[in-house]
Structures are given as structure tokens and as C-alpha cells.
Amino acid sequence: MRITILIMRNLKLIISYDGTEFQGWQTQPGFRTVQETIQKHLEKITNQKITLYASGRTDTGVHAIAQVANFRVDSNLSESKILLGLNALLPDDISISEITEVPYDFHSVKDAKKKHYRYVIRQSGISDPLTRKFCHLVKQELDHKKMHKAAQQLIGTHDFRCFESEWPNRTNSIRTIYRTSINRMGPWIWFNIEGNGFLYNMVRAIAGTLIEIGRGHWPEDKILELIELKERKYAGPTAPAKGLFLVRVSYEDLTP
């Protein structure tokens, strides 16, 4: 008789990536994706089949400052060894800043309590070669104070299907937004938004709508009207992916 003990550990990764050259997070045969790129190298290091779950699937071209993902593995390699090995193998448009062991039932998608996205706009008549892959160039003047006020209407629990591409994608389009802000420094205007979750293309549709408000095409209270209307076609265009960053995913319980 032979007894084999499998010690399955659950490891959580914090991941940064430049989304420019990826077809988004999720594995798709024939495409370069973040998930497939990391999985492939994890399989090399651990010599096992790995499935990596991210807090959310970012789209083609979207960047991440701190995406969170987890995977289960039967390996006693230390976290720091995996971290070192992985960063050595990964291409330079992905890096892992942290690997920690988490409880076996932790799941980066289901347990995510809060996500923070940022959308970066450059308001200028002339594009900037040095930052062109990390912002959306808007040539018209934008009133960022008006955009900030409009963004406050997003706060609360609403049915956000007016900002969801290709609706109906999901059964439930109700989400809670905790905080939004628009700041400006010189040509840079950035939009921060935190919520318990986001629908497909929601942040980019909101950014596109706020730009329409900022350039005076729509009034400040347009957001409330759109939420009422519940149809994607009335909201602004989906702003380009390259301006969008997944900043942080929180897992702590939000009750005070």
C-alpha cells in the first residue's frame, strides 16, 4: 500500500502589466493573453497544470497596476522562489510584485469586495509620444470640475446597464459605486472610480460619457438621466482601452 499526500496550497499573486500587446487577460487560443503567459511559466516552474483566476478579466489594451489572481498548486516551493522564478521568466510587459499563501477557499473573483479603476485623459492639441500608450488624447477643452460633479451621480447602488456594452451580458446589472473623482494637473485629467464590481466596458463607457459632459455636449446631470434610461445607446462612446488602469482590488470586509 502506498499513501500519497497532496498538499494543495492556494497562492495569491499581485500582477502589473502593460496591456498594449495583450489581447486582454483571458486565455484565447492563438492570442497572447496575460493569463496564458503567466500560467505557462507557472506550469514550467511547478511542473503542474495551473489555472489562474483573476479578480476580473481586463480587456485588450487595458493596463493593470495591481491585478489580483490566485491558483492552487501541490508544491512546496516557497513563495519567494516562485516569485523570483516567475519574474525571471516573464516578458517585460508583466511583473509580479507579490506572492502570498492564502486560505484554501480564497477566490480572487468571488471574494473581491472593492475594485479601483483609473481612467487617464490627456487634454491637449498635440499628442505626447512618451505617454501615448497610457492615456486617451482629447483635443477639445474639458471642464474637469463639471466632470467631477457629474461623476458624483454615479455614487450609490444603481442598475448600471446603460454603461454595459452588449447588454444583456449578465443577469444582474446592479452595482454599488463608493467613490469617484476627477482631478487635473496641467494637460492630465484622471478619473478614479471605486465600486463593488463593474459591468463589461462600464468604466470606459462612463469615461466616454464624462468626456461628453466635460466638453459641454451634455449637462452635468446627464448621468442620472442615463441611469434612468437603462439603454447603452444613449450614453457616451466607449473610451479607448489604453487610458484604463486596474489600480487595486480589495478583499477586506468593508463594514466599518
**Residues in the site for a second copy, rule: CB under 8 A?**
16-18, 63, 65, 87, 92-97, 126-130, 132, 134
Query: With contact defined as beta carbons under 8 Å apart, do 222 and 213 qualify?
Result: yes
Instruction: Pick between residue 97 and residue 157 the one whose CB is nearest to a second copy.
Output: 97
Tell me the closest approach of the beta carbon of residue 153 to a second copy, in angstroms.
30
Nearest to 151 by CA among 122, 118, 125: 118
Residue 74 among the catalytic residues: no
Tell me the closest approach of the beta carbon of residue 217 to a second copy, in angstroms.
24
Tell me the closest approach of the beta carbon of residue 97 to a second copy, in angstroms.
5
Exactly one of 59, 105, 143, 253 is catalytic; which is it?
59
Nearest to 34 by CA among 73, 75, 85, 69: 69
For residue 201, give every residue at least 6 positions away whose Cβ sits within 8 Å of its Cβ, in sequence order, or none.
59, 163, 164, 165, 238
77 burial level (CB within 10 Å; 0-12, 13-18, 19+): middle
Instruction: Pick between residue 66 and residue 155 the one whose CB is nearest to a second copy.
Output: 66
Nearest to 138 by CA among 93, 180, 191: 191
Tell me the closest approach of the beta carbon of residue 64 to a second copy, in angstroms.
9
Query: With contact defined as beta carbons under 8 Å apart, do 120 and 133 qualify?
Result: no
Tell me the closest approach of the beta carbon of residue 17 to a second copy, in angstroms.
5
Instruction: Pick between residue 100 and residue 172 the one whose CB is nearest to a second copy.
Output: 100
Instruction: Please give the backbone phi and psi of residue 132, each rounded to the nearest 5 degrees, phi first.
Output: -60, -25
Instruction: Pick between residue 74 and residue 128 the one whose CB is nearest to a second copy.
Output: 128
Query: With contact defined as beta carbons under 8 Å apart, do 25 and 34 qualify?
Result: yes
Record the cell numbers describing residue 1, joined without a space.
Answer: 500500500
Instruction: Pick between residue 94 and residue 151 the one whose CB is nearest to a second copy.
Output: 94
C-alpha–C-alpha distance, residues 171 and 205, integer Å = 19
Cα pseudo-dihedral 127, 131, 136, 138, rounded to 10: -30
Catalytic positions are 59
